[in-house]
């Protein structure tokens, strides 16, 4: 357990402890954020995606870059990018073992993601 990066989210009613390497993506849902894990668990937290993005940046300061904001709707785990299909506006995330997720993403957001991945060589 010592080698894992944990994300702790504490509210009045809940405490979530999530292994950040097991997060597939975050999805905006109004003033809420859905967190989708590689084991298909999904939980909703009472904060906007922008606030979640700030929490992740603070938590990962000086560490390996795990996540990237993709358009207005998603923050994705960069280690799970399997396919970027510009024509179909589709991003496929996979843990390369058991799960995969197909997300509809704007062409502009996919183009920026593709450039980021090529630049950083994730």
Based on the number of CB atoms within 10 Å of its own CB, is 84 exposed (0-12), middle (13-18) or buried (19 or more)? Answer: middle
For residue 121, the model assigns a pLDDT of: 65
Write down the H helix ranges in 12-106.
49-59
Q: What is the pLDDT of residues 55-79, one digit of tens each?
A: 998 888 866 678 999 999 999 999 9
pLDDT band of 46, cuts 50, 70, 90: very high
What is the average pLDDT across 92-106?
94
- What φ, ψ does residue 121 adopt, rounded to 5°? 55, 55
- pTM (two decimals): 0.90
């Amino acid at each position: 357990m010592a080698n894992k990066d944990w994300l702790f989210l504490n509210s009045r009613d809940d405490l979530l402890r999530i292994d950040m390497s097991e997060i597939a993506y975050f999805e905006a849902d109004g003033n809420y954020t859905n967190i989708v894990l590689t084991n298909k668990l999904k939980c909703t937290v009472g904060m906007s995606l922008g606030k979640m993005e700030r929490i992740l940046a603070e938590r990962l300061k000086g560490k390996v870059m795990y996540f990237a904001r993709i358009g207005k709707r998603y923050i994705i785990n960069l280690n799970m990018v399997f396919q970027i299909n510009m024509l179909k506006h589709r991003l496929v995330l996979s843990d390369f073992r058991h799960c995969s997720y197909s997300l509809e993403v704007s062409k502009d957001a996919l183009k920026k993601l593709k450039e980021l991945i090529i630049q950083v060589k994730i």
